Amino acid sequence: MNTALSVLALGLLVASVCCVAGGCAPSATERFKGNPLFDPDFVPICVGGQNVSRAHIYHDAGINLYHSIDDVSLTPASATDQKPSAEILKVLSDLGMYAIVDQATWFAFRDNPTIVAWTCPVDEPDNKGDDGRPMPLEEFLAVSKKFRKADPGRPYVVCFGQGVTNDGFGGRGIERSEYPKYLAAVDFIDYDFYPIANFKWGRGLPKADPSDMELLRKDGQWHLDMVGQGVSRLRHWTDNQKPVLVWIETSHNHNPDPTRIATPAQTNCEVWDAMVHGARGVGYFSHDFTVPREVGQSWTLARNKPMLAQLKKTNAKLMKLARVIAAPLASEPAQATCEGGGQVVYSTKQVDGATAVLSVNVFAEPARSTLWVVGLRKGTNVEVLEEGRTLEAAADGRFVDEFGPYQEHVYRIRG
C-alpha cells in the first residue's frame, strides 16, 4: 500500500497544472466572493435529484443545498412533473437552503438568490455515453462557454465520474491528460466515486490477498481512501484554484447485491477522507436504481433513518468546523504510522493562527496512530475538536491517538 501511495503522489506531482508565465488568473473563490458556495463559514452539503416535497427531511439532516430538483421541466411530460416556479424555490429558501440547477430550465429565475450555481446538462462528460464515446472536448467547451457567458456571476458546476480516481475504470472515455482541458471550463468541480456499491475493479490497483478479496471488496476497507485521492488529483490538475465537491454514497446505486451498500460509518468515513484531501463540500447520492421509479427509486436516503441520523451528526460537525474545511491545505495528505489493523490518513491546515489536523481511519480495524506535525513541540496540548478532550505531544513533531474503525478526529494546535 505504501508503494502504491508513493506512485500516486509522484503521478499527482507530474500531473499538476502550473500557472502560466505572467501570473495566475483570479481563483474561483476570488471571482465568486459573496456566493454562499464560497463563503468560509458555509460548507456546501447537498443532495441530488430530489423533489422539494422532501426538503424538510434533508434539512433536518443538516443538508443545505439541492443539486438539481426532480420532476421539473419546461415541458412536463406527466402529471407528476412540474414547471419551474418561484414557489418551488421558496420551499428551499424558507428552510435556508440553496439550489444548483440546470440553466436551460431555470434561466427565467436567474434573479432568484436561492439559485447559487448552474450545472452542466451532461452528467459525467468524461464517461462513455450510449454511443461508447465521451462528450467531445470541443462540444463540452462550447456548451460551457455558452452557459458561463449567459450568467458570469454564478459558478458553472460539472460532475465527473469515477475515472478521476480509478485508473482501471473501463467506462472512462477520455485520456488522463485531457482532464485539465475539461476542468479549465469549470468553476466548481463535482466528482463521484462509490467504492462500496459501484466500484469497478481496475487494472493496476493494489490487490489484497486472494483469500481476503471478497471481504475487502464488500466492506469497502480496501477502497475508501480512493475517494479522497480523487480530490487530490482534481486539486492538482487545477493548481488548487477551484473547489471540489465529492458525491458520497448512501444507497445501492445500480448494485442488486443487498450487501453492497455503505454503512453509516463508512459513509461518514468517505466524507472525512474527502476533507483530509482538501474537498470543499459533499453531496449525498441517494438513488437506488435496483427498485422501480414509482416506488421511490430517487429518494431512498429519505427513508433510511440510520443513515440520516449519521448524516445529521456528520453535517453538524462539518458546519461547526466550516473555517477549517474552507482553508487550503498546508500539507498534502499523508499516512500515519499505525499499530493494529487500521490505516489513518491525515493532513494539516493553518486556520486563525493555529494548526488544524484532519484525520480519519479508512479501514474497518482500530488503530493506535502516530501523527507527525511540523513544528510541534513535546508537551504541547493538542485539542481534539468537538470531542471535549486534549492530548499531549509525545515528542517533538508527533502525537499519538486512538482511532476506532472508520473514525475521524480533527485536532487544533495553538502556538
Pairing type for strands 354-361 and 188-192 reads unpaired
Pairing type for strands 334-335 and 281-285 reads unpaired
Residues 157 and 129: their CA atoms lie apart, in Å, by: 19
Q: CA 106 → CA 63, 240, 241, distances in Å?
A: 22, 30, 28
| Residue scoring higher pLDDT (224 or 17) | 224
Which residues lie below 8 Å from residue 220, measured CB to CB, with a gap of 6+? Answer: 195, 196, 199, 262, 266
Residues 49 and 414: their CA atoms lie apart, in Å, by: 42
Strands of the sheet with 337-340, listed across from one edge: 337-340, 367-372, 398-403
- The predicted structure's pLDDT at residue 12: 36
> Which 3 state secondary structure label does DSSP give 15?
helix
Which residues lie below 8 Å from residue 252, measured CB to CB, with a gap of 6+? Answer: 197, 258, 260, 261, 288, 289, 290, 300
Give the amino acid at 260: R
Average of per-residue pLDDT across 42-64: 96
- At the top level of CATH, which class does the domain 2-326 belong to? alpha beta
DSSP state for residue 115 in the 8-state scheme: E
The pLDDT mean for the chain works out to 88
Residues 137 and 283: their CA atoms lie apart, in Å, by: 26
- Burial class of residue 372 (count of CB atoms within 10 Å of its CB; 0-12, 13-18, 19+): middle
Residues 251 and 27: their CA atoms lie apart, in Å, by: 34
Q: Of 243, 184, 217, whose CA–CA distance to 35 is shortest? A: 243
Intra-chain end-to-end CA distance of the chain, in Å: 34
Average of per-residue pLDDT across 380-408: 97
Residue 85 has pLDDT above 90, yes or no: yes
- The predicted structure's pLDDT at residue 77: 84
What are the residue boundaries of the structural domains of the chain, listed by start? Answer: 2-326, 334-414
HSE, side-chain direction, 13 A CA sphere, residue 37? 35
Percent of the chain with pLDDT over 70: 88
Name residue, grid cell 459533499: 282
- The predicted structure's pLDDT at residue 294: 72
Average of per-residue pLDDT across 263-288: 96
334-414 CATH:
2.60.40.1180
- The predicted structure's pLDDT at residue 289: 86
Lowest mean pLDDT, pick from 69-78, 214-223, 401-410: 214-223
Tallying the residues shown for the chain, one arrives at 415
Q: Output b/e per residue, 31-60; b: 16+ Cβ within 10 A.
A: ebeebebbeeebbbbbbbbbbbebbebbbe
How does pLDDT run across 93-133, given as a tens digit for each residue? 999 999 999 999 999 999 999 999 999 988 999 999 989 99
- The predicted structure's pLDDT at residue 343: 94
Residues 236 and 230: their CA atoms lie apart, in Å, by: 10
Q: Answer whether 2-326 and 334-414 agree in fold.
A: no
| Residue scoring higher pLDDT (282 or 251) | 282
Sign of CA dihedral 335, 209, 262, 5: positive
- The predicted structure's pLDDT at residue 11: 38
Which residues lie below 8 Å from residue 394, measured CB to CB, with a gap of 6+? Answer: 370, 378, 400
Residues 376 and 382: their CA atoms lie apart, in Å, by: 9
Residue 201 has pLDDT above 60, yes or no: no
Number of Cβ within a 10 Å radius of residue 74: 13
Backbone angles phi, psi at 188, to 5 degrees: -135, 120
| Residue scoring higher pLDDT (255 or 152) | 152
